Structure 1
Amino acid sequence: MPQSTNTSSPMRSDTGQYRFAPMRGRPRLHWPGNARMAFWVAPNIEHYELDPPVNPNRSPYARVQPDVLNYGWRDYGNRVGFERMARVMADRGIRGSVSLSVAVIEHFPDIIAQCNDLGWEMFSHGVYNTRYFYGMTEDQQRQVIRDSRESLARVGQTLDGWLTPAITPSLATQDLLAEEGVRYTLDYFHDDQPMPVKVRNGRLISVPYSIEMNDVPMVNWQNASPTAMLDSLKAQFDRLYAEGAGNPNVMCFATHPFLLGQPHRISVLTEFLDYVKSHDQVWYPTAREIADYYYTHHYDRVNTWLASLEESA
């Protein structure tokens, strides 16, 4: 497989880490039980520091720091919203794959214990969601990845997946993840199926995450009502479920306890999960299980197909 072409050149037409892969002619995937869809829920359990170090590229808060208002809003998710969401998911037998600010392990150990008790996966969303990768050297990024692995190991979890804080990776980040043994990335939103990522050493795949079926864009960017959120989620599910009869795919619902865990929004999660569960041909894995199955059953075959596209280009 072609190696990563990351350079320091300021002019690039694309990331160089995946190629165009048309759906027409794409190898057909299969999921356990002949499911049309792998459906997973990604609770983002984060910690925003009250007064984080300044990053010249971006402020984590809308107002001048320290921003007590927005800090308290996010803290609501860990104090109250998480428990409300966890209860809804557990009642329906759906495990979470947690996009975790690993500092939560130190700040909120009760949350971590409950995630483990529920059989949820935890992967890294960096240390704090206020520490962006903008401007980090490769060595600095690598250290965050290693710190994440060590922190997760202390609570009985392995570092298999990754979502860069606030989705701020550099072009080197995916190479570093593969070199550090991370198996899947969520930093790219380019497909409805897992896909191999070109890296300079090792192996890495993208697992479909979602920037649209995600309560932050829905609420904070679009000002969507709970009814509008539910309609969008159902429409996304219906289309993917129908298309999955031809070539099975993945749907992710990315959630944040400080938003979806609010009393007036929790019905979105309740009603949507009930809707999904009313369909027969759905697999309910963790993100780690999607990656494991893909590596075992599809990775080599899809790589061969991708190589054939390179040769015919």
Structure 2
Amino acid sequence: MGTAPQNPVVNDPGLYDFRPYRDRHPIRWPGDKPIAVWISPNLEFYEIDPPANPFRKSWTKPHPDVVGYSHRDYANRVGHWRMAEVMERHGFKGTVSLSVALCQHHPEVVENANALGWEFFSHGIYNTRYTYGMDEAQERAIMEDSIRTVQEATGQRIRGWLAPALTHTTRTMDLLAEMGFTYTCDLYHDDQPGPVHVARGRLVSMPYSLEVNDHYGFAVYNMSPREYADTLIRQYERLAREGEASGTVMCIPLHSYLIGQPHRIGPFEEVLRHIAADGRAWITRAGDIAEHFLAHDYDAVAAETAHPAAE
């Protein structure tokens, strides 16, 4: 006798509801723009010889990995400044995915981004320390440390979260909502914001991207700089067309040790020039998208499903 098939819903964490892409509540961005575009520079700090995590190695080579460390260290010393100059030239304010320890290790980088009017959210303390295996007190302490440290360094109260190295626990979303965060970038399931199911409060899933993340473009898909630039433009054009029916979101996640290289920055600047000149984009920051969605669309989107998020 065969074994009865398992119910696929049993292993569903239930973080969000299924909503078919067509015939949704129509989202409208400011100025009736069809697409909101935000850039997420990852300003990170990697330890050359971090404490070992039993669930995941920080470096593929035996510690200390001088090659991996120094490649990423290029970001803070050179790449950030080149990338920021290009972004500012075309009117793009970053929404920084911040390794919070950077506030102590290289405060000049954080001070520069803050002076430019960039927004910060937490990407954990170090990108070489993971939440795998942490208990609730440890995970809560990381969030509290992030809020306090960024506020002391920049005056900003962070509103968003992207787990360090994309690692999180089953309790992460509930803790974020409880501690006053408004959005998470840890879900990659949609091209529009949506409610996240949390025990208390409200939390918005902010469209981030793995597909057009420069790390995936260059290190996973092996794109040339021009192939990556063409990918970004095709992503933008499609989402802008679809956004005429209901506003879409395009996130461009960047790592300046990659995009800030001299041979890559030119094609990327062509992308920013294209988007800025097109006129259809609300060029903005993630926190502003989240606040607009919460004020204008959250309730209607939640009502489309059988299980609205908890108040």
Scaled by the length of structure 1, the TM-score of the pair is 0.93
1:304 deviation in Å? 1.4
Post-superposition Cα deviations, 1:28-60, rounded to whole Å, max 9, x if no partner, equal: 000000001000000000000010010122112
2:128 pairs, out of 127, 130, 134, with 130
Q: Does 1:259 align with 2:258?
A: yes
Give the AA of the match of 1:135: G
Post-superposition Cα deviations, 1:80-109, rounded to whole Å, max 9, x if no partner, equal: 000000000111111000000000000111
SS in 2 for 1:278: helix
1:43 maps to which residue? Answer: 41
1:25-44 paired onto structure 2 within 5 Å: 25-44=23-42
Give the AA of the match of 2:242: E
Give the AA of the match of 1:122: F
1:90 maps to which residue? Answer: 88
2:149 maps to which residue? Answer: 151
Which shows bigger deviation, 228-237 or 44-53?
228-237
CA distance in 2, matches of 1:190, 1:82: 29
Post-superposition Cα deviations, 1:271-291, rounded to whole Å, max 9, x if no partner, equal: 110111121121011101001
Post-superposition Cα deviations, 1:129-149, rounded to whole Å, max 9, x if no partner, equal: 011111111111111000000
SS in 2 for 1:63: coil
Instruction: Report if the CA contact (8 A) 2:38-2:284 is conserved.
Output: yes
Give the AA of the match of 1:243: E
Post-superposition Cα deviations, 1:286-313, rounded to whole Å, max 9, x if no partner, equal: 1010011111111111111223799xxx
Give the AA of the match of 2:267: V
Aligned-residue CA RMSD (Å): 1.4
Cα distance change, pair 91–135 in 1 and its aligned pair in 2 (3 A): same
1:6 maps to which residue? Answer: none
1:178 deviation in Å? 0.6
- Identify unmatched segments of 5+ residues in structure 1: 1-10
Post-superposition Cα deviations, 1:55-82, rounded to whole Å, max 9, x if no partner, equal: 1221121211110011000000000000
List 4+ stretches of structure 1 deviating above 2 A: 307-310
1:196 maps to which residue? Answer: 195
1:220 maps to which residue? Answer: 219
Scaled by the length of structure 2, the TM-score of the pair is 0.94
2:3 maps to which residue? Answer: none
2:77 maps to which residue? Answer: 79
- How many residues are matched? 300
SS in 1 for 2:131: coil
SS in 2 for 1:209: coil
SS in 2 for 1:265: helix
1:202-241 paired onto structure 2 within 5 Å: 202-241=201-240
CA distance in 2, matches of 1:70, 1:308: 45
1:151-190 paired onto structure 2 within 5 Å: 151-154=149-152, 155-190=154-189
Give the AA of the match of 2:264: R
Cα distance change, pair 54–12 in 1 and its aligned pair in 2 (3 A): farther
Identity of aligned pairs, percent?
Answer: 46
2:116 pairs, out of 111, 115, 118, with 118
SS in 2 for 1:199: coil
Instruction: Report if the CA contact (8 A) 2:125-2:142 is conserved.
Output: yes
CA distance in 1, matches of 2:283, 2:213: 18
Q: Does 1:295 align with 2:294?
A: yes
1:112 deviation in Å? 1.1
CA distance in 2, matches of 1:151, 1:41: 23
